[in-house]
Amino acid sequence: MVVHAVAPPLSGASLSAQHWENLTFLHWPVEPAAVTEFMPPGVRPDVIDGFTYVALVPFQMRGAGPGGRLPVPYFGDFCETNVRLYSVDEQGRSGIVFRTLEADRLATVLLARFGLGLAYTWSKMSAVHAGDLWRYESARRWPRSGRAPLRSALTIRVGDPVEPTPLEIWLTARWGLHTRLAGRTVWIPNEHGAWPLRSAEILDLRDDLVDGVGVPVAGDMLRPLFSPGVRTTFGLPTVVTG
Protein backbone atom coordinates (compact mmCIF):
# COMPACT_ATOMS: atom_id res chain seq x y z
CA MET A 1 0.00 0.00 0.00
CA VAL A 2 1.36 3.41 -1.02
CA VAL A 3 1.16 6.14 1.64
CA HIS A 4 1.40 9.65 0.24
CA ALA A 5 3.51 12.31 1.95
CA VAL A 6 0.85 14.98 1.28
CA ALA A 7 -2.46 14.73 3.12
CA PRO A 8 -5.67 14.49 1.08
CA PRO A 9 -7.83 17.54 1.86
CA LEU A 10 -10.62 17.07 4.39
CA SER A 11 -14.17 17.36 3.17
CA GLY A 12 -17.07 18.55 5.27
CA ALA A 13 -17.00 19.80 8.85
CA SER A 14 -14.01 19.53 11.20
CA LEU A 15 -14.15 17.57 14.42
CA SER A 16 -11.18 19.27 16.12
CA ALA A 17 -7.81 20.91 15.59
CA GLN A 18 -4.61 20.92 17.62
CA HIS A 19 -0.86 21.41 17.51
CA TRP A 20 1.41 18.41 18.03
CA GLU A 21 4.72 19.79 19.28
CA ASN A 22 8.17 18.47 20.17
CA LEU A 23 7.58 14.86 19.16
CA THR A 24 10.01 11.98 19.21
CA PHE A 25 9.27 8.95 17.01
CA LEU A 26 10.66 5.56 18.05
CA HIS A 27 9.76 2.60 15.81
CA TRP A 28 10.28 -1.16 15.97
CA PRO A 29 9.29 -3.86 13.44
CA VAL A 30 6.53 -6.28 14.44
CA GLU A 31 5.25 -9.53 12.92
CA PRO A 32 1.77 -8.75 11.54
CA ALA A 33 0.24 -11.87 13.10
CA ALA A 34 1.33 -10.66 16.56
CA VAL A 35 -0.94 -7.60 16.44
CA THR A 36 -3.90 -8.77 14.34
CA GLU A 37 -5.93 -9.23 17.54
CA PHE A 38 -5.60 -5.49 18.31
CA MET A 39 -7.21 -4.40 15.04
CA PRO A 40 -10.93 -3.53 15.12
CA PRO A 41 -13.30 -5.42 12.77
CA GLY A 42 -12.77 -4.44 9.15
CA VAL A 43 -9.16 -3.41 9.78
CA ARG A 44 -5.90 -5.36 9.46
CA PRO A 45 -2.23 -4.57 10.16
CA ASP A 46 -0.66 -2.45 7.42
CA VAL A 47 2.46 -4.18 6.12
CA ILE A 48 5.56 -3.06 4.26
CA ASP A 49 8.31 -5.50 3.22
CA GLY A 50 6.75 -8.23 5.35
CA PHE A 51 6.55 -6.26 8.61
CA THR A 52 4.23 -3.89 10.36
CA TYR A 53 5.50 -1.52 13.08
CA VAL A 54 4.87 -0.26 16.58
CA ALA A 55 5.72 3.31 17.58
CA LEU A 56 6.36 5.00 20.91
CA VAL A 57 5.64 8.72 20.47
CA PRO A 58 5.98 11.23 23.34
CA PHE A 59 5.04 14.84 22.61
CA GLN A 60 3.21 17.97 23.78
CA MET A 61 -0.38 18.70 22.77
CA ARG A 62 -1.14 22.40 22.38
CA GLY A 63 -4.30 24.34 21.59
CA ALA A 64 -6.64 21.38 21.12
CA GLY A 65 -10.26 22.36 20.63
CA PRO A 66 -13.50 21.41 18.87
CA GLY A 67 -14.49 22.34 15.34
CA GLY A 68 -11.01 23.22 14.15
CA ARG A 69 -11.07 26.81 15.42
CA LEU A 70 -11.56 27.09 19.18
CA PRO A 71 -8.65 25.99 21.38
CA VAL A 72 -9.73 25.17 24.93
CA PRO A 73 -7.44 26.74 27.57
CA TYR A 74 -5.96 24.27 30.07
CA PHE A 75 -7.91 21.24 28.76
CA GLY A 76 -6.32 21.57 25.31
CA ASP A 77 -2.70 21.69 26.55
CA PHE A 78 -1.08 18.56 27.96
CA CYS A 79 1.69 16.01 27.61
CA GLU A 80 0.98 12.78 25.77
CA THR A 81 2.83 9.55 25.01
CA ASN A 82 1.15 7.08 22.70
CA VAL A 83 1.85 3.56 21.51
CA ARG A 84 0.48 3.13 18.01
CA LEU A 85 0.13 0.39 15.43
CA TYR A 86 -0.28 0.72 11.67
CA SER A 87 -3.57 -0.23 10.06
CA VAL A 88 -5.40 -0.42 6.75
CA ASP A 89 -9.14 -0.91 6.22
CA GLU A 90 -11.31 -2.56 3.58
CA GLN A 91 -11.43 0.72 1.62
CA GLY A 92 -7.62 0.80 1.43
CA ARG A 93 -7.19 3.71 3.87
CA SER A 94 -3.90 3.45 5.76
CA GLY A 95 -4.01 4.77 9.30
CA ILE A 96 -3.23 4.18 12.96
CA VAL A 97 -4.67 2.07 15.76
CA PHE A 98 -3.71 3.27 19.23
CA ARG A 99 -2.90 0.74 21.95
CA THR A 100 -2.57 3.48 24.55
CA LEU A 101 -2.52 7.26 24.73
CA GLU A 102 -1.04 8.36 28.06
CA ALA A 103 -2.07 11.93 28.95
CA ASP A 104 -1.90 14.10 32.04
CA ARG A 105 -5.26 15.88 31.71
CA LEU A 106 -7.97 13.72 33.33
CA ALA A 107 -10.98 15.54 31.85
CA THR A 108 -9.54 15.18 28.35
CA VAL A 109 -8.80 11.50 28.98
CA LEU A 110 -12.40 10.83 30.01
CA LEU A 111 -13.86 12.77 27.07
CA ALA A 112 -11.70 11.01 24.46
CA ARG A 113 -12.00 7.59 26.08
CA PHE A 114 -15.78 7.52 26.36
CA GLY A 115 -16.69 9.97 23.60
CA LEU A 116 -14.39 8.72 20.80
CA GLY A 117 -13.53 5.19 21.89
CA LEU A 118 -9.81 5.98 22.13
CA ALA A 119 -7.54 4.17 24.60
CA TYR A 120 -6.60 7.25 26.63
CA THR A 121 -5.20 6.74 30.12
CA TRP A 122 -4.47 9.23 32.87
CA SER A 123 -0.78 9.54 33.74
CA LYS A 124 1.63 11.76 35.63
CA MET A 125 3.77 13.26 32.88
CA SER A 126 6.39 15.83 31.98
CA ALA A 127 8.25 17.03 28.88
CA VAL A 128 11.14 19.40 29.51
CA HIS A 129 14.11 20.59 27.51
CA ALA A 130 17.43 22.35 27.94
CA GLY A 131 19.16 23.40 24.75
CA ASP A 132 19.11 20.43 22.38
CA LEU A 133 18.10 17.93 25.10
CA TRP A 134 14.53 16.70 25.64
CA ARG A 135 13.33 14.57 28.57
CA TYR A 136 9.90 12.88 28.58
CA GLU A 137 8.52 11.01 31.60
CA SER A 138 5.23 9.20 32.19
CA ALA A 139 3.76 7.08 35.01
CA ARG A 140 0.23 5.73 34.62
CA ARG A 141 -2.39 6.64 37.22
CA TRP A 142 -5.62 5.19 35.76
CA PRO A 143 -6.66 2.62 34.75
CA ARG A 144 -4.01 0.52 36.46
CA SER A 145 -3.20 -3.13 35.76
CA GLY A 146 -1.31 -4.62 38.67
CA ARG A 147 0.38 -2.79 41.51
CA ALA A 148 3.17 -1.03 39.63
CA PRO A 149 2.20 1.73 37.17
CA LEU A 150 3.38 1.46 33.60
CA ARG A 151 6.19 3.96 33.10
CA SER A 152 8.12 5.50 30.24
CA ALA A 153 11.21 7.71 30.39
CA LEU A 154 13.16 8.98 27.39
CA THR A 155 15.99 11.49 27.00
CA ILE A 156 17.20 12.52 23.53
CA ARG A 157 19.60 14.97 21.96
CA VAL A 158 18.12 16.67 18.88
CA GLY A 159 20.38 16.73 15.83
CA ASP A 160 20.34 18.08 12.29
CA PRO A 161 17.44 18.15 9.83
CA VAL A 162 17.02 14.92 7.86
CA GLU A 163 15.16 13.81 4.76
CA PRO A 164 12.80 10.92 5.51
CA THR A 165 13.34 7.57 3.82
CA PRO A 166 10.41 5.95 1.99
CA LEU A 167 9.81 3.79 5.08
CA GLU A 168 9.82 6.84 7.36
CA ILE A 169 7.28 8.56 5.10
CA TRP A 170 5.16 5.39 5.25
CA LEU A 171 5.31 5.52 9.06
CA THR A 172 4.75 9.23 9.65
CA ALA A 173 2.41 10.27 6.82
CA ARG A 174 -0.76 8.78 8.28
CA TRP A 175 -3.95 10.61 7.41
CA GLY A 176 -6.40 9.07 9.85
CA LEU A 177 -7.04 6.61 12.64
CA HIS A 178 -9.24 3.56 13.13
CA THR A 179 -11.17 3.04 16.35
CA ARG A 180 -14.28 1.39 17.71
CA LEU A 181 -17.17 3.74 18.48
CA ALA A 182 -20.73 2.83 19.51
CA GLY A 183 -20.26 -0.76 18.38
CA ARG A 184 -18.86 0.18 14.96
CA THR A 185 -15.42 0.52 13.47
CA VAL A 186 -14.88 4.09 12.30
CA TRP A 187 -12.28 6.03 10.35
CA ILE A 188 -11.39 9.53 11.60
CA PRO A 189 -9.38 11.43 8.94
CA ASN A 190 -6.82 14.12 9.66
CA GLU A 191 -4.83 16.64 7.67
CA HIS A 192 -1.54 18.42 8.36
CA GLY A 193 1.56 19.64 6.61
CA ALA A 194 4.72 17.64 5.98
CA TRP A 195 6.66 16.74 9.12
CA PRO A 196 9.85 18.78 9.67
CA LEU A 197 12.16 15.99 10.85
CA ARG A 198 15.51 16.02 12.65
CA SER A 199 17.83 13.26 13.81
CA ALA A 200 17.69 12.26 17.48
CA GLU A 201 20.25 10.52 19.69
CA ILE A 202 18.85 8.45 22.56
CA LEU A 203 20.67 9.14 25.82
CA ASP A 204 18.26 7.20 28.07
CA LEU A 205 15.27 4.94 27.38
CA ARG A 206 13.32 2.99 29.99
CA ASP A 207 9.87 2.01 28.78
CA ASP A 208 7.14 -0.32 30.03
CA LEU A 209 4.43 0.82 27.64
CA VAL A 210 5.16 -1.13 24.45
CA ASP A 211 5.54 -4.43 26.27
CA GLY A 212 2.79 -3.49 28.76
CA VAL A 213 0.15 -3.20 26.02
CA GLY A 214 1.11 -6.60 24.63
CA VAL A 215 3.10 -5.71 21.52
CA PRO A 216 6.16 -7.95 20.92
CA VAL A 217 8.87 -6.32 18.82
CA ALA A 218 10.60 -8.39 16.14
CA GLY A 219 13.81 -6.51 15.49
CA ASP A 220 15.99 -3.50 16.19
CA MET A 221 14.69 0.03 16.56
CA LEU A 222 14.76 2.25 13.48
CA ARG A 223 16.66 5.53 13.68
CA PRO A 224 14.95 7.89 16.16
CA LEU A 225 13.39 11.04 14.75
CA PHE A 226 12.42 14.36 16.33
CA SER A 227 9.99 16.96 15.01
CA PRO A 228 9.14 20.43 16.34
CA GLY A 229 5.62 19.59 15.22
CA VAL A 230 2.67 20.38 12.99
CA ARG A 231 -0.85 21.74 13.25
CA THR A 232 -3.46 19.11 12.44
CA THR A 233 -7.20 19.07 11.82
CA PHE A 234 -9.47 16.05 12.26
CA GLY A 235 -12.56 15.41 10.18
CA LEU A 236 -15.78 13.69 11.21
CA PRO A 237 -15.86 9.89 11.65
CA THR A 238 -17.15 7.62 8.91
CA VAL A 239 -18.21 4.02 9.42
CA VAL A 240 -15.87 1.27 8.21
CA THR A 241 -18.02 -1.65 9.37
CA GLY A 242 -20.62 -2.53 11.98
Q: What is the pTM of this model?
A: 0.95
As for how many domains the chain has, the answer is 1
Residue 102 contacts residue 113 (beta carbons within 8 Å): no
In a domain, 203, yes or no: yes
In a domain, 113, yes or no: yes
In a domain, 117, yes or no: yes
| pLDDT per position as a tens digit, 125-140 | 999 999 999 999 999 9
In a domain, 229, yes or no: yes
In a domain, 3, yes or no: no
Terminal alpha carbon distance of the chain: 24
| pLDDT per position as a tens digit, 9-68 | 998 889 889 999 999 999 999 999 999 999 999 999 999 999 999 999 999 999 888 765
In a domain, 232, yes or no: yes
Identify the band that residue 241 occupies on the pLDDT scale cut at 50, 70 and 90: confident
| pLDDT per position as a tens digit, 155-213 | 999 999 999 999 999 999 999 999 999 999 999 999 999 999 999 999 999 999 999 99
In a domain, 128, yes or no: yes
- The CATH number assigned to the domain holding 222 equals 2.40.400.10
In a domain, 2, yes or no: no
What is the extent of the structural domain holding 155?
A: 14-241
